Structure 1
Amino acid sequence: MENKKAKNAFENLLARQDYLVTQANELAKAFGNLKATEHKILDYCFSYIKKEDTADTVYHLTLQEILKHLGLNASGENYTRVAGALNRLHEKTALYLQLYKDDGTPFIRMTSLFQHIDIDRNGDVEIKYNADIAPYIFQLKQQYYSFNLIELSRVRSKYTLIMLKLWNATVMEKWSNFNDPHRKLPDLYLNASLEKWESWFLGYTVDEKGNKTPIRWSAGRFKKEALGVALNELAELYPKSTITLTPDKRGRRVVGYTLEIRQINTTLDTNTVVIDGKPQPPRVKGKQGVRKEEKSIPTNISEKVAEYNAEEQTELSEVEKLKQKIAELEAKVNSKPKEVKGLFDDADLKKSEKKITDNLDKMTGKSPQDLEQTELF
């Protein structure tokens, strides 16, 4: 029975890969605080929505389907991981909606994306979206963006997912189907302040009282770890695109970014990403398909080698000098006679002996020879 369920879940997953994930444009900018896994689970949940659905529609899926979508095996650890991701997804999808009263007075409604997410012991999941956000996800007629689920599932970084959604939500032209062999992506021109870019990609934190605090990074870190990661992966996924990111500056301070993505018709291998006027090195595949940045050799490597050799030569010359000094000392020592003569030569010793003998004669009236023959008792 379990094998049959797994087979049905897998076939159901394959059938869903061409379903469109459809959301309002505002939602494309609302979930920067989600992680990549949470983004992919959210997109999978959105893929169940049909144009004819209403706010009362309830959706049913399984943890096993989500595992297959994420490419994970059905282990107990992964079931727990996905269940935890659904829990965080419910907690981290709070929304602020700007609405208007009947007299035109604007107001802010604080709500959330899901009304509830139920998970039972068999792994069945029930989802119901909040009625407050129904205009953003149901019966969309104008401002929406859409992707094939398979197109989103091949993305690795959460920043790339967000950039892809921003690209789709910003342009007026709608994206053609992923399976279309002649598809041509629309060009993009997107300009925004640094604060807006960070709100789209980083989101916010929530304290114990429920207050939201926007996450802020330095401009350099944000460019490298968020925008750079997203644009380099986009260049891999869409190699016929030229991507240019230009910082907007006030003096030396970065206050925003302008992103331009244009389609090209070429078969040449070239750097397609230009950030701050500098072409980015292409990323290459490592072992087992894991992509990593190609390590480049520093341009001043010859200078470093020359400096190292000069230091080596200096150290060796100092050693040679020390060896020469030791050799000179050894030569001086070896030049001295091996037999030590003592403090006095023979003439001096005889004079001293005679003087001592004369003094003894005066004191005792006897010679030293007589003293040696005298008995003590």
Structure 2
Amino acid sequence: MSSITEKAKNKKQVLTLNELSKRKVVEHNSLITSIAKMDKTPLKMFELAVSCINTEEPPKDNTVYLSKRDLFAFFKVSDNDKHSRFKEAVEKMQKTAYFQIKEVKEKGYEMTSIVPIPTVKWNSYNDEVLIRFNQDIMPYLIDLKNNFTQHALSDMAELNSKYSIILYRWLSMNYNQYEHYSVKGGRRADQVESYRNPSITVKELRLMTDTVNEYKIMNDFTRWILEKPLEEINVHTSFNVTYEKVKKGRSIDSIVFHITKKPVARNDFYKLEEQDPIYLQDKANKEQAEELLAGKALKSKYTKLLLDNMLLSPYEMTDTSLMAGLQAHVYPLYDELKALRGLNGVKDHLSYVRAKQEAYSKRNIAKYLKKAIEQYLPTVKRQDL
């Protein structure tokens, strides 16, 4: 029987820390709103493992592989006792950690309790860790045609409280819907706004955070379930979140959150030349021009091809500047290639780019794709000569 290392290399699923820092976690909303019966370490380990799943090509045997070295780095563990602590965390995750998922059915609701990762395998003589998911959890991780949420693993890495992680996942779920319906339509304006100002009853929040029997005094609940987690979320993630309490009678009935996204610094790819009239106009006109370009990009057949080849994610499609950059600087080059080789030529090029994909910053994906097609087009033109 081959070793874990050989299996991992054969499947090409061992991921480095640099790769992990760019990955997204994609989960069904039912899992996000479930009760996570576990502390922060098993929950973060689960999120880390989920980020390694390619939903287009689900892992065989529900198995992914991680490096011990990068696993410890992700959790910022560097002391001499790290292997013992890792072993304890794995044992705790498998013995006491589970999700309690509630789903509405025709005749009522259905409760399912699932231990998400029943098998973790490693040894003393190489660096790989095998993680095998429970088959019952897989539909919530790969069957994602509707009602799913995507968030950044790098945001999750810095959160040090179980409640911060749970709240961040729920806030991401709502804000994802705000971004989706803002672009796609299909909801009234007030409904769209409600996604970035989501409300949850205190009873529901207690259930989701598994604190029905804890922090009975509202001041304690506010401090440990709202204030402390939001401090972490505001410092370490892409969100800025505030909240307000809504009373019903004399007691606090629900919480309304207000979510905004932190601005992302533009890179050089989006700094157009000074003579470009769009960038000489005022900010409102520039934003309008970007939105028009992004709208065209969303309808483009090339966007679908990028999604098919996992060179673009639904999460990145909500980035107006990124989509505008693709429409302005990349898709015209794909039009040139299409004129020379047809749409299949573009498909073949993107398939090759995916196979040779370098490590890149998520903010530079448009620049990366532009460079790839600029290098390829001259070769095609020379061949035609």
Cα contact 2:26–2:50 (8 A) shared by 1: yes
- 2:17 counterpart residue number: 13
What is the number of equivalent residue pairs in this alignment?
A: 240
Deviation (angstroms), 1:93: 3.3
Q: How does 1:1-377 map to 2 (within 5 A)?
A: 12-30=16-34, 32-51=36-55, 52-53=57-58, 56-73=61-78, 75-98=79-102, 107-122=110-125, 124-171=128-175, 172-173=177-178, 188-201=196-209, 203=210, 215-237=214-236, 241=240, 243-262=241-260
Distance 1:224 1:27 in 2: 25
Deviation (angstroms), 1:240: 8.0
Distance 2:108 2:253 in 1: 32
* CA separation of 1:150 and 1:10: change in aligned 2, threshold 3 A: farther
Deviation (angstroms), 1:104: 6.3
Distance 1:10 1:53 in 2: 15
Give deviations 1:103-144, integer Å, cap 9, x for gaps. 968643433212422343446432221222221011322222
Task: Write the letter of the residue equivalent to 2:220.
Answer: R
Task: Write the letter of the residue equivalent to 1:234.
Answer: I
Cα contact 2:245–2:255 (8 A) shared by 1: yes
Task: Write the letter of the residue equivalent to 2:198.
Answer: L
Give deviations 1:315-372, integer Å, cap 9, x for gaps. xxxxxxxxxxxxxxxxxxxxxxxxxxxxxxxxxxxxxxxxxxxxxxxxxxxxxxxxxx
Q: Greater share of helix residues, 1 or 2?
A: 2
Q: Which one has the largest radius of gyration? A: 1
Distance 2:113 2:60 in 1: 18
Deviation (angstroms), 1:50: 0.8
* CA separation of 1:22 and 1:215: change in aligned 2, threshold 3 A: same
Distance 2:229 2:103 in 1: 32
Deviation (angstroms), 1:264: 8.2
Give deviations 1:70-126, integer Å, cap 9, x for gaps. 1222x441111122112222234323445699x968643433212422343446432
CA RMSD of aligned residues (A): 3.8
Distance 2:37 2:104 in 1: 27
Distance 1:258 1:140 in 2: 28
Matched-pair identity in %: 16
Give deviations 1:199-242, integer Å, cap 9, x for gaps. 223x26xxxxxxxx75453211010122001222333346984x
Cα contact 2:34–2:101 (8 A) shared by 1: no
* CA separation of 1:64 and 1:34: change in aligned 2, threshold 3 A: same
Distance 1:43 1:240 in 2: 18
Cα contact 1:66–1:82 (8 A) shared by 2: no
Distance 1:246 1:62 in 2: 42
Cα contact 1:10–1:65 (8 A) shared by 2: no
* CA separation of 1:104 and 1:132: change in aligned 2, threshold 3 A: farther
Distance 2:24 2:98 in 1: 23
SS at match of 2:163: helix
Deviation (angstroms), 1:61: 2.2
- Unaligned 5+ segments in structure 1 are 1-8, 176-185, 205-212, 266-377
Q: Greater share of strand residues, 1 or 2?
A: 1
Cα contact 2:14–2:128 (8 A) shared by 1: no
Task: Write the letter of the residue equivalent to 1:64.
Answer: R
Distance 2:44 2:165 in 1: 9
Cα contact 2:15–2:65 (8 A) shared by 1: no
Question: What TM-score do you get using the length of structure 1 for normalisation?
Answer: 0.54
Give deviations 1:39-58, integer Å, cap 9, x for gaps. 32222111111112057321
* CA separation of 1:250 and 1:55: change in aligned 2, threshold 3 A: farther
Distance 1:55 1:255 in 2: 46
Give deviations 1:144-175, integer Å, cap 9, x for gaps. 22223222223333332222211111231459
Distance 2:166 2:158 in 1: 14
* CA separation of 1:239 and 1:18: change in aligned 2, threshold 3 A: closer
Distance 1:98 1:163 in 2: 18
Task: Write the letter of the residue equivalent to 1:45.
Answer: A
Task: Write the letter of the residue equivalent to 1:232.
Answer: E
Task: Write the letter of the residue equivalent to 2:160.
Answer: R
